[in-house]
Amino acid sequence: MTRRSTPSSEMVANRTTPPLEPSLSIARERAGTGETQMTVHNLYIFDRNGNCLYYNEWNRKKQAGISKDEEYKLMYGMLFSIRSFVSKMSPLDMKEGFLSFQTSRYRLHYYETPSGLKFVMNTDLSVSNARETLQHIYSNLYVELIVKNPVCSSAPSLDSEVFSSRLDAFIRALPYYSPRAA
């Protein structure tokens, strides 16, 4: 995990592909010292039109202070802007584009499929790369349980109990998940 000195802004956009997810031993060490516990805070799934298909939180200590609809719009709008910014201002040819940003307390991870489906997950700082996690959620949960279910439509939002419960179980089983964040 790199440390950059960013005196003025809290936000650092990480563009290049960071290393793999931390091992279990780091997790235990962190948990033992009482430092920031590894955890997943929340997850958003947006469709190609900007509709929030799914949202859930596991460990969110502070709310945004606006309605959920406003929050989804804000999140989607921000992602749209940052992707456009990253692409425009990139000093090199774009590959994956925007991947994540971090603050001093959390990291936001972003994964977008070529079909425009957008996965956004906020974790603590010890999770440097959640791309594989988000890809798993797409391939093994979303595609299997939502796309392949003819009765399940994704508009206006995902209405599938099995999807919710499997996703919840998956998140809780992640090596970097712990129910209580410091």
Residue 66 binds another protein, judged by CB under 8 A: no
Residue 147 binds another protein, judged by CB under 8 A: yes
Per CB under 8 A, contacts with another protein among 76-105 are 76-77, 80
Site string for another protein, 117-136 (x = CB under 8 A): x-------------------
Residue count at the site for another protein (CB under 8 A)?
A: 19
Site string for another protein, 26-65 (x = CB under 8 A): ----------------------xxx---------------
Closer of 6 and 139 to another protein (Cβ): 139
Residues 6+ apart with CB under 8 A from 86: 13, 15, 94, 97, 98
Q: What is the nearest approach in angstroms of another protein to the Cβ of residue 7?
A: 29
Chain residues in the site for another protein (CB under 8 A) = 48-50, 73, 76-77, 80, 113-117, 138-140, 142-143, 147-148
